């Protein structure tokens, strides 16, 4: 790993500022001053010091939160009554949400300090399947379901094919491989339906399971390893 990346991942500073810190001559690797931000270090073996302080690699943290209604998916928003960060202990305040759920959407939200993973999970190229439980104002007929599954025009761009499984009454489950802004609400609105209730129940191989609203849990070691892969 580049020394600059190691320092920023360890929480010393932003990546750009880390390069300045290194060039200023304050950083040593195995007791030798190092002035090159691109110098390669092994985070497990090399001893990196900033002046007299040993810099240790920060471990990656992965949490799953069951987001309740009325909570905003953001790190900081002075106008939000409550953000997802308010539901976590202070020691997790440095984590970032992976993607976002609307304020009135509930369900599975991942949070992590693993920036690489956030990029991979939110990039359309990776096509992670997300399953949502949807409650509508009326029951859609088979023709509308077919149209939605094939893809519909939202602001001049067709939605990718998706799967819909009808449930009882006006409920259904929809599996998407993309995540455009307010996508599900806009897809149903385009055909004259209103989404009254929206809950994300899984993302890739991760299920919300029995996690209660407003509660969080750490991913198990196996889940974290599978995510990284």
**Where in the sequence numbering do the catalytic residues fall?**
102
Q: What's the CA dihedral at 71, 80, 134, 190 to 10 degrees?
A: -170
Part in contact with ligand URA (CB under 6 A); list of ranges 31-39, 57-65, 112-120, 179-187: 179-187
Q: In angstroms, rounded to a whole number, what is the distance separating the alpha carbons of residues 65 and 86?
A: 12
- Chain position carrying tokens 């859609």: 140
Q: Which of 22, 183, 206, 224 binds ligand URA (CB under 6 A)?
A: 183
Closest by alpha carbon to 177, among 212, 203, 157, 152? 203
Q: How far is the CB of 73 from ligand URA (least distance, A)?
A: 8
CB 26 within 8 A of CB 50: yes
Part in contact with ligand URA (CB under 6 A); list of ranges 12-20, 37-45, 153-161, 183-191: 183-191
- Residue 197 is a binding residue for ligand URA (CB under 6 A): no
- Residue 131 is a binding residue for ligand URA (CB under 6 A): no
33 vs 181, which CB is nearer to ligand URA? 181
Radius of gyration from C-alpha coordinates of the chain: 22
Q: In angstroms, rounded to a whole number, what is the distance separating the alpha carbons of residues 83 and 214?
A: 11
Closest by alpha carbon to 97, among 210, 203, 25, 205? 203
8 vs 159, which CB is nearer to ligand URA? 159
Q: How far is the CB of 205 from ligand URA (least distance, A)?
A: 19
- Residue 198 is a binding residue for ligand URA (CB under 6 A): yes
13 vs 213, which CB is nearer to ligand URA? 213
102 vs 197, which CB is nearer to ligand URA? 102
Site for ligand URA in 72-111 (CB under 6 A): 101-102, 105
- Residue 184 is a binding residue for ligand URA (CB under 6 A): yes
- Residue 194 is a binding residue for ligand URA (CB under 6 A): no
Closest by alpha carbon to 117, among 210, 12, 204, 178? 204
- Chain position carrying tokens 């104002």: 137
72 vs 183, which CB is nearer to ligand URA? 183
Burial class (CB within 10 angstroms; exposed 0-12, middle 13-18, buried 19+) of 140 = buried
Number of residues that bind ligand URA (CB under 6 A): 8
DSSP β-ladder status, 32-33 and 53-55: unpaired
Residue ranges binding ligand URA (CB under 6 A): 101-102, 105, 182-185, 198
């Amino acid at each position: 790993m580049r020394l600059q990346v190691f320092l920023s991942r360890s929480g010393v500073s932003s990546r750009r500022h880390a390069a300045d810190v290194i060039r200023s001559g304050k950083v040593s690797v195995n007791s030798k001053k190092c002035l090159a931000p691109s110098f390669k270090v092994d985070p497990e073996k090399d001893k990196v010091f900033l002046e007299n302080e040993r810099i240790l690699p920060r471990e990656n943290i992965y949490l799953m939160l069951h987001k309740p209604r009325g909570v905003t998916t953001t790190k900081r928003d002075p106008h939000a009554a409550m953000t997802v960060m308010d539901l976590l202990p202070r020691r997790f305040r440095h984590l970032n949400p992976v993607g976002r759920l609307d304020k009135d959407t509930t369900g599975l939200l991942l949070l992590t300090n693993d920036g690489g993973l956030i990029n991979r999970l939110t990039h359309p190229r990776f096509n992670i399947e997300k399953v949502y439980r949807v409650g509508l104002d009326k029951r859609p007929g088979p023709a509308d379901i077919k149209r939605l599954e094939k893809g519909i025009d939202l602001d001049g761009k067709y939605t990718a094919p998706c799967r819909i499984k009808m449930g009882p009454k006006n409920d259904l489950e929809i599996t998407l491989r993309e995540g455009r802004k307010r996508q599900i609400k806009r897809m149903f609105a385009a055909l004259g339906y209103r989404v009254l209730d929206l809950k994300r129940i899984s993302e890739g191989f991760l299920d919300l399971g029995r996690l209660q609203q407003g509660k969080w849990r750490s991913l198990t070691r196996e889940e974290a390893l599978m995510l990284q892969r």
